[in-house]
A and B are shown apart, each in its own frame.
Chain A
Amino acid sequence: MKVALIDYGAGNLHSCGKALERALAANGMAGTVEVGAKPEVIGAADAIVLPGDGAFKDCRDELAAVSGLEQALHEAVRVKARPFLGICVGMQLLADIGEERGETAGLGWIPGRVVALDPAERHLKVPHMGWNTLESRGSHPVLKDVPFGEQALHAYFLHSFHLLPRHAGDLLAIADYGGPVSAIVGRENIVGTQFHPEKSQQLGLRLLQNFLAWRP
């Protein structure tokens, strides 16, 4: 299979690419990870991954600045319904609106807003930075055998904002940090993780393997 890893100047491409290759191999799948933003690469991909490290507005501007990228993503993800994974800000960009440093319109693929974390306990620091456990909020092929629960494996988070989906059914998993933090969202052929699966060792590898095997 061909996996397109979108390069729009805002993402941990090296780590994501290596983790995806490792997940392909763990699945016993022959495949390649192509890093780029060319419409023909996206058009030919069997699965698409949008990473993202940075501020929402800056990433949104970078995405919009790459000629033809949004149109190619729209056709592959919205029209042809190819499986799509957004990571961190790549997940947040799926929302209607991001509130980081002013309001910025997102892609609007998962209805909702990206809002600042505001943990109920005052001593909890923001950013939410480090390893946390996950709690499942739904069933989904990408969640299969992902180790959920307080005693299970951890995922690596590094963020100050999170996506609050308008529809409760779009929230697939949370972490607890002075209240629920959106950890995995999904709608139709689209999923997103707030944490970094490429940095989350076995748990991250499991999720990436599931994503690559998913045929929505």
Chain B
Amino acid sequence: MSLKVRVIPCLDVKDGRVVKGVQFVDLVDAGDPVESARAYDAAGADELCFLDITASHENRGTILDVVRRTAENCFMPVTVGGGVRAVADIRALMLAGADKVSINTAAVKDRAIVGRAAEKFGAQAIVVAIDAKKVSEPGENDRWEIFTHGGRNHTGLDAIEYAREVADLGAGEILLTSMDRDGTKAGFDLALTRTIAEAVTIPVVASGGVGTLDHLVEGIKVGKASAVLAASIFHFGTFTIGEAKNHMARAGLPVRLDGIAG
């Protein structure tokens, strides 16, 4: 097979600036999103993910403007998420230049939005973002549940059942974040990633916890993800996209090395 595994830098955008936190709090400024996007495009990123984590809905115009300027300035696909409440929000983001739109809380509240969105925009454009946290006690079988609102709200929904449900409704991809690992640099929750990836027939993007290049390799090899997403290691210059991809290639993974020096 010659489809390549994807490396996706993620920009958490708050009030028009890139920020990064640890376990969804303690945010640090990490730059201008359009400049970051342009740099990642030039560096060989396979896609870009924008998550608008602005707390209020009044700032929607900011993210639309950021998406528009990014789509104009880079030639790689862009997924945008955060604050998507209705099909009209998806349309606005698509018209601004998003290739895929990610739905999180809105899908938890009303699963039907996934079906409506897929019917309108096609499954390939609809990503469901799942923030999952381990709820099983040591010694019990692994069990993860869905959290919303940046991890503050516990829904009681089982992550595997929910993933299957949104895939059946027409989601084209799952962006799976481990709340336990986000920002910790301890690596993906591989058991969670693999369990979800094997439960659905749509691609799963592993997210939350990348600290080393081996973590990226494990996410694909052990976690069975189709793509790996990371923020801090790229934003703060720990590793370049090229270093990540060369490392993955040396580990035997099929990656796209167009324009990347070996």
Contacts and interface: CB of A to CB of B under 8 A. Distances in A.
Contact of A199 (B1, B72, B99, B119): B99
B122 A55 contact: yes
Interface string B44-84: 00110000000000000000000010011001110000000
B172 A199 contact: no
Contact of A177 (B1, B76, B172): B1
A167 interface: no
Interface stretch (B2-10, B18-26, B105-113, B182-190): B2-10
A125 B203 contact: yes
B75 A53 contact: no
A75 interface: no
Nearest to A121: B1
Interface string B77-103: 100000000000000001111011000
A67 interface: no
Contact of B1 (A129, A178, A204): A178
Nearest to B204: A125
Contacts of B118: 55
Contacts of B77: 156, 158, 196, 199
A157 B122 CA distance: 14
Contacts of B226: 125, 129-130
A203 to B, nearest CB: 8
A132 B97 contact: no
A126 interface: yes
B76 A127 contact: no
Contacts of A204: 75
Interface size class of B (residues with CB under 8 A): 35 or more
Given A14-B68, A53-B99, A150 B2 contact: yes
A161 B5 CA distance: 20
Q: Which of A125, A128, A156, A159 has the most CB of B within 10 A?
A: A125
Interface string B224-242: 0011000000000000000
B123 interface: yes
Contacts of A128: 3
B2 A126 contact: no
A131 B124 contact: no
* 7 A-B pairs with least C-beta separation: A127-B124, A14-B97, A55-B122, A131-B256, A125-B203, A158-B124, A132-B3
Given A15-B75, A202-B259, 4 more contacts: A56-B122, A131-B3, A160-B172, A196-B99
